[in-house]
Structure 1
């Protein structure tokens, strides 16, 4: 294959090698499939030899031996049936194995995606990730069930055909093999010109998936602001680019593959005809000539098949490159400390943080102590760094400078299991699964139904759930669209209320809940304080007024901290924010 640089060649073989490694656990099935291919190829090649024998020994010599004719016919039919049957079984085996391999590959991609740092999802559109998991793995599947099977079958068929040709007449066979350097030349050119085009095709496909993802998720906003035409034009533009790139590949296929190879076969056939006049006529028998013409046609097909697989192979390599790029992305880093949290104490020392290692710091010189079972509230204007600080306490991001201690242990030393069991968060926009209420609350944890009903009562959802046809087994639909925003938040709060984490973080978790329900939630939080440290991000005065310590953030810095009474007495940032809030009401 032709590559622009040795680096491209190395990358190609590295990706292909990694893709082929997935075959190793299915060796037995593939060996059986390969054996079927070999035997099928032999039976396919033996057919013309029988016909050649029939022509030379019966037709030309006018020897009408009925018994011999019957045996030749029966033998030919058996060979054809054997070839068809074995080809059927090898196709089934290759496809079955390919599906299993792709399942493993997709599991590896999903596993990697689930363990990646959150900043990956902050910078990469979801549609691109979905495209790699679905479209790219489906293209790679063709490597296993089409490319490998076709290439191996074609090589076996070519080898068996050449053996048969040389055993019949080596002069003609020598002329026929001239086609191989011609085919290799075609493959070189195809490789060179198809690779950049195929990368563009993948890029346009990915963009289309991402655009559809944005349209479906933002359908309400698109219709509200009458932007249907604009988004339609975006899809149309990208689809046109995809179409033009595809047409380039089709033109390349149409020029370099079957027509050109058929021309080469025609040239070789002309060479065979000319050779009949050059060499002694006794070297060539009519049956042998028929066999060679038949073999030349059969030789042409596997050569075309191998060259055609270049396109699929290139697409599989490009897709494999994108898949492994996702798989090779470093996972979220956690420590090795598996001990459970004994307390919910938090200490932050000289913390500085910026997203994506930018020079602009979102958090600057944060110093804070939150005692175990304390109630601390973060307040500040939009963009002040409240949610960022909460995400750092969850261990979602690594930070540039400073220290965070949880239970007097550095947060980076804590294992994933310790953090996820000991520190929980309720976000402002919770994720609701298209599943039952029970599943949405338990999320795979072993929690009794009795406990579920207790928590539902605590968050004021009992009457709603009881009104549903199947109670806690009722399906909430896609993204919980049959629930209000406030009811979704209550489901999310119920998720953490079923356990007693050492640290509970609420990021505007009561923003869309009515005042009466919020008061009930506040009462529930007071009971949770017996077990947990509360960190609450909120703007409502009712949510934060009872906090032991209120931390006021402004442009990433702590500008004030203290109780509600102390901060109101200072008449600083907090006092101004509360006064502004009171005026609104």
Structure 2
């Protein structure tokens, strides 16, 4: 998210773009550089330009991203002295943790001024920098192609877009709040009448009427406030439901590369923040407007009663606004840090407990417990610093208000003693001053809560702005039926700015043919499955289904014709039936037939709840073979003409493997089948074997043919 926190020092500085995830520091630094040159881009846009993934950003990615928007970007090694000749601002790569990027904004022989995506602007001595710097820097020279791009006020636009459908109930809540506040003001005038009229005249009947009026006003005010809170709660519920549903539905439309390049816990935490966001927006916005009206209205009443005392009460405004302004930077930083640490802790907690079986068998509870405790302590510290940071503006406003109230009481008392005003009038003025100062006391908290909501909205909007998986072609081709002819034509593939995974791979698979793909770990076998499933497009070359390039097909339409059983396929905490059908409406006898083909029916029918039995998290209540066969059943369920099995018999004992292989043999009948494996027994079942090595197709043929050659296959499987 783009958060401009102003400048520091002299001259125009680079804006601080806060990294919302530890891997985002390179993208955030890049967005900061672009913003310095008045080409403002969001963090999400920066991520896509520089190719940020879970491993972070490469120097090559920063170079290519800079060139894409009009910079002559040059990564290079340098010395501290050489930085004095570098075009600033530049990006430096630090060695801490897994690597970190910062913006070098200013250089002197003694120290440097940095903009750190984690903590904002800071200075670092020469010694500190030299001890943490890797020696790499990236210069950015603007060229004639670099265009000015105005800031995208995404938090504000997201807020307006979200609240527009709820304007009428919010306006009604605002009107009710104004009416309830006006009733509260009447108390001061009742007290004036009590002291100036009723008490001196000993008017018992008037006293009864005054008491009844006070009770009636109090009851009406309470009812109005209740109705106002009910309205805002209803709007908040609608806002949370609408925005939450929109967010979840959009997540499901995102392309696979988004999930491969991000920590999923960040998405989870964004959804969890919806409750706090809707509360701050609905209650906070109404309260801010009402408090503004209260501040203005009470000031008008005080001016009409005593202009001098009105000046006294206005004296509180400048110090409160200045204090809020100067202290807000610390609060904003603490808010972002608290959110980021929450994301990190949630992700690590999920990771540790998903692997708890491995941790226990490794007797590593102590080490991982300490790891979680360290992350938890960091989170608690961040939240504590946020609370302290939010208290400072509040305490400052309370102190200022107290001083003003004391001054009003002193001056007003002298006016009463001089008989310029009555005691009742002083009570009215004093009550109005107190009401006038209440909004100022609450102003810092309201503004900071709203800002926290804006940050949350911006974080949600970051994801909502990610483009959904769409057809790559302007006029996509629809495949009415698929025979299953597969072709790779000089396919090269690399994950953005990383080493090549596939290099000039070409092959054809005939419809109905069964082909095994063999190769060592990291040779690119699973990438072939990802390309056939259209999760990614080739960097160059073409992948064709029945002669049609995947670039010309709607990826979601293509997947209707492809079944894939990925290595370590996931099972859900649902019934076995739902895990097989994947929420598609299938008749029970169809599910049973599929289970028989997958050789899992006898097991399912032997357990008490049968197909309705619940699968534990991660399939903990099922054996590896049972999980594999459920996944095979899931692949069969689609009845697709193309079947891809990625390491479907890995980590199985011989007996279980025979059962799974029997299921596979039955499942592949009449289908084009691609079996990705590292096992000889699996490869021997195929019509043809293709051998990959370091991303290249080095051999292909039948098992018998390859055994006769002195090639990679023989080295992998000696006779």
Counterpart in the other structure of 1:578: 717
Counterpart in the other structure of 1:132: 270
State whether structure 2 residue 608 is matched by structure 1 residue 469. yes
Structure 2 gap ranges (5+) = 18-149
**TM-score, normalised on structure 2?**
0.75
State whether structure 2 residue 520 is matched by structure 1 residue 381. yes
* 1:265–1:300 Cα contact (<8 Å) kept: no
Counterpart in the other structure of 1:38: 178
1:524: Cα distance to partner?
A: 5.1
Counterpart in the other structure of 2:140: none
1:434: Cα distance to partner?
A: 0.8
Counterpart in the other structure of 1:350: 490
Q: Pick from 171, 174, 192: which aligns with 2:329? A: 192
Matches within 5 A, 1:441-456: 441-456=580-595
Look at both structures and tell me which one has the larger radius of gyration over its CA atoms. Answer: 1
SS where residue 357 of structure 1 aligns? coil
Counterpart in the other structure of 1:25: 165
State whether structure 2 residue 433 is matched by structure 1 residue 296. yes
Matches within 5 A, 1:160-559: 160-258=297-395, 260-271=397-408, 273-274=410-411, 277=414, 281-335=418-472, 336-358=476-498, 360-513=499-652, 515=654, 518-519=657-658, 522=661, 525-526=664-665, 528-559=667-698
**CA-atom RMSD in angstroms:** 2.7
> Which moves more between the two structures, 484-493 or 507-516?
507-516
Higher relative contact order (CA 8 A, sep 6+): 1
**TM-score, normalised on structure 1?**
0.91
> Which moves more between the two structures, 554-563 or 15-24?
15-24
Q: Taking structure 1 as reference, are residues 460 and 524 closer, same or farther at Cα in structure 2, changes over 3 Å only? A: closer
Task: Please state which structure has a larger fraction of its residues in strand.
Answer: 2
> Which moves more between the two structures, 178-187 or 430-439?
178-187
Q: Taking structure 1 as reference, are residues 436 and 251 closer, same or farther at Cα in structure 2, changes over 3 Å only? A: closer
Structure-2 separation of matches of 1:11 and 1:317: 16
1:193: Cα distance to partner?
A: 2.5
Deviations 1:215-264 (A, max 9, x none): 11121222222322322333333333334433433333433313543433
Structure-1 separation of matches of 2:164 and 2:570: 39
* 2:575–2:611 Cα contact (<8 Å) kept: yes
Structure 1 gap ranges (5+) = none
Deviations 1:254-296 (A, max 9, x none): 3331354343333344145326547994542211101121222
Deviations 1:97-130 (A, max 9, x none): 2132122222233233323333333332232332
State whether structure 2 residue 80 is matched by structure 1 residue 78. no
Structure-1 separation of matches of 2:398 and 2:241: 36
Structure-2 separation of matches of 1:531 and 1:72: 92
1:388: Cα distance to partner?
A: 1.0
Deviations 1:513-562 (A, max 9, x none): 55556556555555555542111112333322232221111111011011
Structure-1 separation of matches of 2:416 and 2:5: 42
1:68: Cα distance to partner?
A: 2.1
SS where residue 22 of structure 1 aligns? helix
Counterpart in the other structure of 2:141: none
* 1:377–1:549 Cα contact (<8 Å) kept: yes
> Which moves more between the two structures, 459-468 or 255-264?
255-264
* 2:628–2:660 Cα contact (<8 Å) kept: no
The number of residues matched between the two structures is: 576
1:425: Cα distance to partner?
A: 0.2
Q: Pick from 33, 57, 75: which aligns with 2:197? A: 57
Deviations 1:395-446 (A, max 9, x none): 1112211111112111022113322211110122121111111111111212
* 1:269–1:293 Cα contact (<8 Å) kept: no
* 1:2–1:191 Cα contact (<8 Å) kept: no
Deviations 1:495-523 (A, max 9, x none): 12123212110001133455556556555
Counterpart in the other structure of 1:112: 250
Q: Taking structure 1 as reference, are residues 186 and 338 closer, same or farther at Cα in structure 2, changes over 3 Å only? A: farther
SS where residue 467 of structure 2 aligns? coil
Task: Please state which structure has a larger fraction of its residues in helix.
Answer: 1
Q: Taking structure 1 as reference, are residues 206 and 522 closer, same or farther at Cα in structure 2, changes over 3 Å only? A: closer
SS where residue 362 of structure 1 aligns? strand
> Which moves more between the two structures, 149-158 or 38-47?
149-158
Structure-2 separation of matches of 1:2 and 1:286: 51
* 1:394–1:423 Cα contact (<8 Å) kept: yes
Q: Pick from 1, 4, 7: which aligns with 2:6? A: 4
